[in-house]
Amino acid sequence: MARARAIATGIAALALAGAAAFWLLTEPRRLDAGAVAALDVPGDAARGEEVFWAAGCAACHAPPGATGEARLVLSGGQRFQTPFGTFVAPNISQHPAAGIGAWSARDLADAMMRGVSPDGRHYYPAFPYTSYARMRVEDVADLYAFMKTLPAVDGDAGWHELGFPFNIRRGLGLWKLVYLDPAPVVALDNPSQQVARGQYLVEGPGHCGECHTPRDMLGGLDRSRWLAGAVAMEGQGTDRQGTVANLTAGEGGIGDWSEGDIATLLETGFTPDFDSVGGAMAAVVRNMAELPAADREAIAAYLKAIPPHPNGY
């Protein structure tokens, strides 16, 4: 009996230790004080508008089918069906209760760059914070200033529809330990100022890799095949066939496109052979068309500078 009790006590102790370790490892981690010092200075709303379009906020958070000025009504409600369940884009308007009108600039930075809500919960990575983690805090401050100029809209957009185990948010802390990395994806050798700007836009706010890079079985990006194209996680692909284009110069990619071809597509949606993009990429083009031409050209320069990969799908 004594031996059995000792074994049971040991098992209980191990279980408690494991639970404690899990709790510590999965704790939501916010930005540190040094990283958010820039938020003490009010952001520039005009620059924030450029960040807004680069980050694609309207593509997910505007009402389904919104066009024109309606893209600035961030009431949410779009539904994204994925292998992990259905995610619903929340209301991020300036409504203080239904939206994020009561958030501070730090709340926005923690959400975008660490995937942590103001009340300390993990956000699901359908919100592309693994890319936004590479943004500059100053750009988040500018984005915050711009979003303060947008309308407040009442109404709950709805809840995610996820089954077990994906409905256990705490486990995302372990996922983040593997996949949340603010370091640049591609190591470029002495890039020009233009290419460096393109890298920032693509790897950070533009979050291009979230669709154009293959994912592993846990839903994380396979960085060894960066921008190699992928099976669409949700809806149509850029080619209307359920796949998302290879953006590298590898087999099946855009190696024969010029930088001008790429920049033109980002502004107009037309490919060099006069086809047009479809699916989610159509919304991306609407966002990119709002950016300065120099930013579209910088993105094109970066895409021509990255390593080639064969199609990732």
For residue 64, give every residue at least 6 positions away whose Cβ sits within 8 Å of its Cβ, in sequence order, or none: 77, 78
pLDDT for 169-186, tens place per residue?
888 999 999 999 999 999
- For residue 227, count other CB atoms closer than 10 A to its CB: 32
**Burial class of residue 303, CB neighbours in 10 A (0-12, 13-18, 19+):** buried
Give the C-alpha distances (Å, rounded to integers) separating 135 from 139, 199, 212: 7, 11, 19
Residue type, 274: F
Place of tokens 């809500």: 117
How confident is the model over 75-97, as a mean pLDDT? 94
CA dist 22 and 1 (Å) reads 31
Give the C-alpha distances (Å, rounded to integers) separating 163 from 84, 117, 131, 158, 170: 8, 21, 25, 16, 14
- Return the exposure string of 65-102: e unless at least 16 CB atoms fall within 10 Å of the residue's CB, then b: ebeeeebbbbbbbbebebebeebbbbbbbbbeebbbbe
pLDDT band at 1 (very low <50, low <70, confident <90, very high): low
CA dist 251 and 308 (Å) reads 8
For residue 192, give every residue at least 6 positions away whose Cβ sits within 8 Å of its Cβ, in sequence order, or none: 301
Give the C-alpha distances (Å, rounded to integers) separating 257 from 30, 247, 252: 41, 10, 12
Q: Which two tokens stand for residue 3?
A: 């031996």
* Element containing residue 231 per DSSP (H, E): strand 230-231
Give the whole-number percent of the chain exceeding pLDDT 70.
Answer: 89
- The answer, as to whether pTM is greater than 0.85, is yes
Q: Which two tokens stand for residue 297?
A: 């050209």
- Residue 191 predicted with pLDDT over 60: yes
- Residue 77 predicted with pLDDT over 60: yes
pLDDT for 111-145, tens place per residue?
999 999 999 999 999 999 999 999 999 999 999 99
User: Is residue 107 within 8 Å of residue 28, measured between CB atoms?
Assistant: no
SS (H, E, C) 21-39: HHHHHCCCCCCCCCCCHHH
Instruction: Give the per-residue pLDDT at 239.
Output: 47
The domain spans of the chain are: 37-179, 193-303
How confident is the model over 68-80, as a mean pLDDT? 94
Instruction: Give the per-residue pLDDT at 2.
Output: 61
Query: Which of these ranges, 33-37, 122-126, 306-310, has the smallest mean pLDDT?
Result: 33-37
Q: Which two tokens stand for residue 219?
A: 């839903």
